[in-house]
Amino acid sequence: MSSYLLQAISFGGFMRLKGSFLLLLIFFTLTIRALGQCVAVITPSSAVPCSGTSDTLFASYAAGNSYQWLYSATPTGTYTTISGATSQTYITTLTGYYKVNIKNGTTCNVTSNYYSLNFDQLPTPVISLSGNDSICPGQTVVISANSGNQITYQWVRDGVNMAGLTGTSILAGSGGNYWVVEADLNGCSSSSASIAIVQRQAPTPLLTPTGPVVVCDSLSTLLSTTPYSNAIYNWYKFTSGSYTPIAGVTSNTYTATASGIYEVTAVYNNGCSETSVPLPVTFATTPAKPVVTTNSPVCLSYNLNCIVTNPVAGYTYSWTGAGGFAAATQNISTPMGSPIDSGLYIVNVSNKGCLNADTVHVIVSCLDSVWPGDVNADHVVDNNDALDLALGFNYTSYARTSISNVFAGQFCADWSGEILPGVNMKHGDCNGSGGIDSNDLAAIYANYGDMHSKTPVAPLAKTTGLPDLYFDLTNYPNFYPGETVSVPINLGNLNNKVYNIMGIAADIKISGLVLSTPPTITYLSSWLGAQSNTLRFAKLTNNGNTTVNNIGWAYARTDHNNISGEGTIANLNFVVPQGIGYNSWAFLYFDNVTIIDNDGNALTGYNVINDTTVTNPTRISNTTQTITGSFAVVAPNPSPTGGQCYLQTNLSLAATISISITDVTGRSVWEQTLDGQGKQNTPLPSSINPGIYFIQVQRSSDNYIQTLKWLKN
């Protein structure tokens, strides 16, 4: 509902007599307008504006109003017109007293009561630092603000409010610019000047030993930490419940000579420091090798007893053994449940981490039968048995009741030693004579390939090693019809020597050639041993297959000594058959390789290399004769002329041969013609540059051509 103001503006009237009545008429002129049009009221935008800000004053509004704002420094003083202030609103930053005059046409001209405008005085925050404005990692400094009644605080670091820090002081622990924002009850606030805190860098030493933290059998160990330029180091040792300084040591290394807990503090040139994590160091003596007695061999269901006869108080002992056996005791007494409990048992003795150990071979043997020829008790007779026979060569003990090579289980009392870990020496006495000698080879020959109880063991897994077992085909880049070859079997070379072996067993296979006579193995100039101190076994195992020539081979020393060496240990000999195809492949390879030392341990640090060569029967023919022969590039080894290479020709009948050499572009670099018969060596030019060349051999009469590839070094 609207409110209106009634206002008399003018009046007038007249009288009239009519009959007995006197009529008096009075006229009024009224102006009716809205109440706001002629009422002046001032309303502020803020009850208490903050100093430094502005406030907007609003005058009451009505359509058609005009305004003029007035100002006075005192409420009763003279109010002066504010130039240009003729809007309904007036924005000011000045404390004082304000009025507004409102006009609306000629009928409204009113001036408001004064309005007192007071701006709130802002807080004046001041902060101060208690301490240094440069701090090290881990240090703090106090920053305080002035206190006041009914003032709130908010601390700021690098323009970001610090959550929860609303007190009169803070602890600054990192670099940055700090200030405080103070506010009064009216919400008016202001910020202090900032204080810059500098974060200094400090070294972070990492304490490490150059050797183990458990120092065995040593008088000292060197401790070191990160070297920093312009830094000094203070070393400490934990003694009597606290860290005690080690006098006179300021470098980044310290030689410790006693057990203890050590730490180091690095002090940088800016005064900052940092301390390492403590490092415990223990000095101890390595225990003597434990001496063990055992009741092995043990029958099934009986206890194996192993006793350390030289124990030391304070040392710790532990055992591991066959079938996953483990015990943390000085001595053991454990039942032998089955033959798989046979094997190697190891006792470890420790003094504060310094270790020593010994091993015992345990045999569960009461039901251990001998199968003639199965020397290593792996349930199959093969060339590995001939190899392992050498491990027990010349040992003697109990003989069997009957001497026989029949492949059947035969009872024999256990001998006092082992051929291999877990394999009693009695298995080497194949014929039951009571001694291990070359006569026992007959049982291996007779029963070769026979098995009992289970299938043959898997071949030895090959591992990459430095020494090589390989066929040396240097002198046989090709096999020629009717040629007798003697291929060296090499183990190791000058760069990769073989150390501490007693013998070797392997299957040697030749495929791609149908040999008319069986291959043989000879031992000229073998470094492994002479005939007088070695056992040599070779058995052809073709099994009726004439295209595969398999030799079960073993070669080992019988003096129970290891040997080291390199080069040829044997030669593989055979005659290349006549009628072989042109460029057919011949394969030479090893299988099931085993190399052992004189403890029967299988060595794995070698590489087995198989090889191939090409058969090359060159034919030269015309209408009157057939001439067979061969051509090959042969590099003499050792070369008598410092790297000179030769083209070797071998013709059964006389012929004229043209030889030409071209490079990879087809350009001819050398030519020669020769007449001859039989084997001839023609020197190839050594003056041409290294590279790849093609040697073309041609018979002049019928233009038969053969091309060879030559890599010139």
Report the candidate in 203, 195, 194, 196 with the shortest Cα–Cα distance to residue 137: 203
Cis peptide bond prior to 297, omega within 30° of 0: yes
261 is written with which tokens? Answer: 């807990």
Cα separation, 441 vs 430, whole angstroms: 8
User: Which of 29-38, 203-212, 560-569 ranks highest by mean pLDDT?
Assistant: 560-569
Residue 155's pLDDT band (cuts 50, 70, 90): very high
The helix (H) or strand (E) run that includes residue 6 is: strand 4-18
Residue 3 has pLDDT above 50, yes or no: no
Confidence at residue 396, expressed as pLDDT on a 0 to 100 scale: 92
Domain termination residue (choose one: 552, 583, 615): 615
pLDDT digits (tens, 9 = 90+) for 618-676: 433 222 233 344 444 444 333 334 456 777 766 656 778 888 887 755 677 888 888 87
Whether 277 and 243 map to the same domain: the answer is yes
Domain that holds residue 521: 468-615
Cα separation, 515 vs 446, whole angstroms: 24
CATH of the domain at 660: 2.60.40.2550
Whether 603 and 504 map to the same domain: the answer is yes
Q: How many domains does the chain have?
A: 7
Cβ neighbours for 612, distance < 8 A, ≥ 6 positions apart: 585, 586, 587, 588
Whether 266 and 307 map to the same domain: the answer is no
Report the candidate in 430, 380, 382, 423 with the shortest Cα–Cα distance to residue 404: 430
Q: Is residue 377 part of a domain?
A: no
Cα separation, 352 vs 216, whole angstroms: 9
Q: Is residue 275 part of a domain?
A: yes
Are 155 and 189 in contact by the 8 Å Cβ rule? The answer is: no
Confidence at residue 31, expressed as pLDDT on a 0 to 100 scale: 41
Are 141 and 172 in contact by the 8 Å Cβ rule? The answer is: yes
Report the candidate in 575, 608, 356 with the shortest Cα–Cα distance to residue 465: 608
Confidence at residue 402, expressed as pLDDT on a 0 to 100 scale: 60
- Candidate from 8-17, 130-139, 204-213 with smallest mean pLDDT: 8-17
Whether 22 and 79 map to the same domain: the answer is yes
Q: Is residue 458 part of a domain?
A: no
Are 80 and 72 in contact by the 8 Å Cβ rule? The answer is: yes
Please give the backbone phi and psi of residue 612, each rounded to the nearest 5 degrees, phi first: -135, 155
Residue 471 has pLDDT above 80, yes or no: yes
DSSP-derived secondary structure letter, 400: P
Residues of the chain with pLDDT > 70, as a percent, come to 78
Residue type, 573: N
Are 434 and 396 in contact by the 8 Å Cβ rule? The answer is: yes
Whether 9 and 111 map to the same domain: the answer is yes
Q: Is residue 245 part of a domain?
A: yes
Q: Checking phi first, is residue 75 left (phi over 0); if not, alpha (psi -120 to 50) or beta? A: alpha
Q: How many CA within 13 A on the CB side of residue 701?
A: 12
Residue with tokens 């006389």, as numbered in its chain: 654
Whether 265 and 296 map to the same domain: the answer is no
Q: Is residue 453 part of a domain?
A: no
Cα end-to-end span (Å), the chain: 119
Q: Is residue 378 part of a domain?
A: no
Residue 212 has pLDDT above 70, yes or no: no
Q: Residue 288: count other Cβ atoms within 10 Å of its Cβ.
A: 12
Q: Is residue 143 part of a domain?
A: yes
pLDDT digits (tens, 9 = 90+) for 484-519: 899 999 998 888 889 999 999 999 988 888 888 889
Cα separation, 700 vs 690, whole angstroms: 29
Whether 591 and 701 map to the same domain: the answer is no
pLDDT digits (tens, 9 = 90+) for 45-100: 877 888 888 889 999 988 889 999 999 999 998 999 999 999 999 999 889 999 99
pLDDT digits (tens, 9 = 90+) for 583-610: 566 788 888 899 999 988 888 888 888 7
User: Which of 326-340, 445-459, 489-503, 568-582 ranks highest by mean pLDDT?
Assistant: 489-503
DSSP-derived secondary structure letter, 451: B
Residue with tokens 């007798």, as numbered in its chain: 484
- Candidate from 392-401, 474-483, 506-515 with smallest mean pLDDT: 474-483
Are 606 and 465 in contact by the 8 Å Cβ rule? The answer is: yes
Residue 215's pLDDT band (cuts 50, 70, 90): confident
CATH of the domain at 345: 2.60.40.10
Whether 161 and 80 map to the same domain: the answer is no
Q: How many CA within 13 A on the CB side of residue 90?
A: 26
Report the candidate in 355, 378, 385, 573 with the shortest Cα–Cα distance to residue 471: 573
CATH of the domain at 514: 2.60.40.680
Round the average pLDDT of the chain to a whole number and report it.
Answer: 79
Please give the backbone phi and psi of residue 389, each rounded to the nearest 5 degrees, phi first: -60, -35
Confidence at residue 705, expressed as pLDDT on a 0 to 100 scale: 63
- Candidate from 210-214, 358-362, 550-554, 687-691 with smallest mean pLDDT: 210-214
Confidence at residue 363, expressed as pLDDT on a 0 to 100 scale: 66
Whether 137 and 107 map to the same domain: the answer is no
Cα separation, 661 vs 476, whole angstroms: 22
Domain termination residue (choose one: 235, 253, 284): 284
Residue 342 has pLDDT above 50, yes or no: yes
Residue 135's pLDDT band (cuts 50, 70, 90): confident
Cα separation, 419 vs 11, whole angstroms: 152
Q: State how beta strands 303-308 and 292-294 pair.
A: antiparallel
- Per-residue pLDDT, averaged over 196-222, amounts to 77
Q: Is residue 664 part of a domain?
A: yes
Whether 69 and 187 map to the same domain: the answer is no
State the greatest distance between any 2 C-alpha atoms of the chain, in Å, as a whole number: 188
Cα separation, 232 vs 271, whole angstroms: 10
Whether 216 and 112 map to the same domain: the answer is no
Confidence at residue 411, expressed as pLDDT on a 0 to 100 scale: 62
Domain termination residue (choose one: 180, 199, 218): 199
Residue 409's pLDDT band (cuts 50, 70, 90): low
Whether 499 and 591 map to the same domain: the answer is yes
Cα separation, 192 vs 147, whole angstroms: 13
Say which residue, 169 or 630, is predicted with more confidence: 169
Residue 315's pLDDT band (cuts 50, 70, 90): very high
Q: Residue 5: count other Cβ atoms within 10 Å of its Cβ.
A: 14
